[in-house]
Structure 1
């Protein structure tokens, strides 16, 4: 199989690496000056480390590199069986690229986008073969994170999801099916992890380091501020703003002025040396600050409760809207962003009544619709409902 990757940045490079390690011929296309050279150097370095760790042999390294090439000429993708686009998260840029690429492909080739938040339907408009197009969303770093969201659009053919599921399983990934809604599963459900933490900080409830320390105390590998600094505020804020706009400015997804100002000032996190934390003293600045933080145990518990209940509510909303079933929601959050537990499982353990009471209390205090409970959460508290494999045990109307 010939796999073409459009965009040789960190994500695109990782996707191509996965394909090459699974026996595919890989061609990278990127017209940005220096991008292909950086990508090739990165792959050579990664494969070199794998040889040092005895994960692969020197012969395997050379064999894989022999099946990979990099080009600034779009014609190089001609004849690809699968094309995965991983360029900047901009609708117009992606559509313009697809318009150039599609004529170079056979009618039976698959054309995929790695978008994390843009509409698959919108991206497919204008394509000659939209039935061969859909979302194939990897998570960074792609070679290490197992999850891939498979997202068909309204014009996507029935064969797409099955073909991508088989391929991703063959590549050793964990595929989940998602509906073409803003943010799909992970970037919808994860929004409160960042936004509610920032809101608590803006209210002066606790410091950045204290909130991060509280969240990490329940098993998260990184706190929300530490993670946004790693992702980059240019990326994280843009996804939040995109999801907010595509959900018709639903207050549940409202972006933060604080994060917007960081983006505007170019304080993008670790890659610029400063974000919520200042990394002048080293890249361990966040961990050092968290270890030095002294937070009252009761306050820590309340911070965790508020953020977690917002995440659980969003996860239930994903089930309610038919974006994914409960099992796939939990699978997506544990395999895509390393949550210590799936939010549906967490909700069951906490008790749906505690989740509902927390949201009602916040809604009453703030008068803000961001805290409105999902109808499914209310139904689960009605005393005669259970959450099964994406279905309720009794039908109801609202």
Structure 2
């Protein structure tokens, strides 16, 4: 099976922000693209949003009128999945519900040619489980784009248990042709980015609950370490409900591993409707223009924490856990070290990849930091990866 980049047809199911964004990427790469959505008129609205966005780019001189016209002509819509034309690849971007996706993939398999690649944009569901609805699961994989798809370079190419090597290779080459940076991984909970990133949010929330420092001080510590945003302000931006849902999914899919257990502070925020910027209050309170109120770090406390004991140092504690997650993932054979570091730099804007960071700090140092945390907070969350010892001299 070979799907050359160029005029081969691409279909997208789901016309929300992600689906429309993926459709735009494919159309701008030169493909005719058909968009469909279960909600009447949503596909047409998606196309209209794409064209409006491109018109804004044209007004800024970033694309010319010929390019805009070519993309507009490439986009079409249908009313039902069964009406999609034969496609080289179909990407679904519907809601994160396994039953809904399985039903959709069964329908796609019934109406698309046998060599059509069927891809899910899921951020957390098991590709192998989604593929159970397809007679030939070898053609099913994940293509996890990041929001917004036209801007974010990263795409996780996710292999299910039955995905063929040819399909993985073809999809990887296609993503490169679309101007993306693909990374390959196995279909495990959270894939690369959403799995490795869990401690970035969780450690800050635990330090906040323990009263180690206020939110603004914790966030400032991580920003000064090179992270673009602090973890607490980032969860407010993402949406506490959205971040909790992903974290809960990873926790449940790992048999309630304590490494991924959601925190009481985040559960309480969601229960209270304090979802972050979109509701005007989350960890922080927000003005009408989205700016944070009362977010002033305590400089004296910041100096006490950073460089101090790992139990209360938000930077050391967070980085040690990120390194541990990355080492474990590579050790399990779920992705390569290069792909993990690339994914975390591009998908989360981390200042460096966690494995690169671990080598810089020294894996022996990280292992000792984790052992210290494991003694201070028993229960399994801070258990060092067994692979860390093997990497001490690397």
Task: Quickly name the TM-score band, shorter chain normalised.
Answer: over 0.9
Compared with structure 1, are the counterparts of its residues 284 and 180 closer, same or farther at alpha carbon in structure 2 (3 Å cutoff)?
A: same
Is the counterpart of residue 272 in structure 1 residue 279 in structure 2? yes
Gaps of 5+ in 2: 1-7, 308-312
- 1:277 and 1:35 mapped to 2: Cα distance? 34
Query: What does 1:1-398 align with in structure 2 at a 5 Å threshold?
Result: 1-32=8-39, 35-285=42-292, 289-291=294-296, 293-294=298-299, 295-301=301-307, 302-381=313-392, 385-386=393-394
Change in CA separation of 1:172 and 1:20 when aligned onto 2, cut-off 3 Å: same
Question: Contact 1:26 / 1:67 at 8 angstroms: preserved in 2?
Answer: yes
1:176 is paired with a residue of what secondary structure? strand
The more displaced of 331-340 and 260-269 is 260-269
Give 1:206 shift: 1.2
User: What's the counterpart of residue 4 of structure 2?
Assistant: none
Distance 1:250 1:336 in 2: 24
Structure 1: gaps (5+ residues): 387-398
Query: Quick one: distance in 2 between partners of 1:99 and 1:127?
Result: 5
Distance 1:8 1:207 in 2: 40
TM norm structure 2: 0.92
In structure 1, the residue matched to 2:5 is none
> Residue by residue, what CA displacement relative to the aligned partner does 1:192-212 show, whole Å, maximum 9, x if unpaired?
001111111111111121111
Question: Counterparts of 1:35 and 1:198 in 2: how far apart (Å)?
Answer: 38
Q: How many Å separate the matches in 2 of 1:370 and 1:306?
A: 12
> CA offsets, 1:85-119, max 9 Å, x none?
11111111111111222212011111000111111
Distance 1:348 1:252 in 2: 22
Tell me if structure 2 keeps the 8 A contact 1:213–1:293.
no
Residue 211 of structure 1 contacts residue 300 of structure 1 at CA under 8 Å; is this kept in 2? no
Tell me if the contact between 1:152 and 1:160 (Cα under 8 Å) persists in the aligned partners: no
d(CA) in 1 for partners of 2:208 and 2:285?
A: 16
Q: Quick one: structure 1 residues 213 and 72, their matched pair in 2 at CA, closer, same or farther if it must change by over 3 Å?
A: farther
SS at match of 1:145: coil
**Shift, 1:170, TM fit:** 0.6
Structure 2 Cα separation of the partners of residues 265 and 70 of structure 1: 40
The alignment partner of 1:107 has SS state of coil
Looking at structure 2, the residues matched to 20 and 272 of structure 1 have their Cα atoms a distance apart, in angstroms, of 34
**What RMSD in Å do the two structures reach over aligned CA positions?**
1.7
Q: Which residue of 2 aligns with 1:392?
A: none
TM-score, normalised to structure 1, is 0.91
Q: Is the 2:203–2:314 contact (alpha carbons within 8 Å) kept by the matching residues of 1?
A: no
In structure 2, relative to structure 1, the CA distance for the partners of 1:321 and 1:266 (3 Å cut) is same
Contact 1:178 1:185 in 2 (8 A): yes
Most deviating of 318-327 and 40-49: 40-49
Question: Aligned equivalents of 2:375 and 2:264: distance in 1?
Answer: 23
Between the aligned partners of 1:260 and 1:12, the Cα distance in structure 2 is 29
**Contact 2:118 2:139 survives alignment (8 Å):** yes
Using a 3 Å threshold, how does the CA distance of structure 1 residues 77 and 263 change in structure 2: closer, same or farther? farther
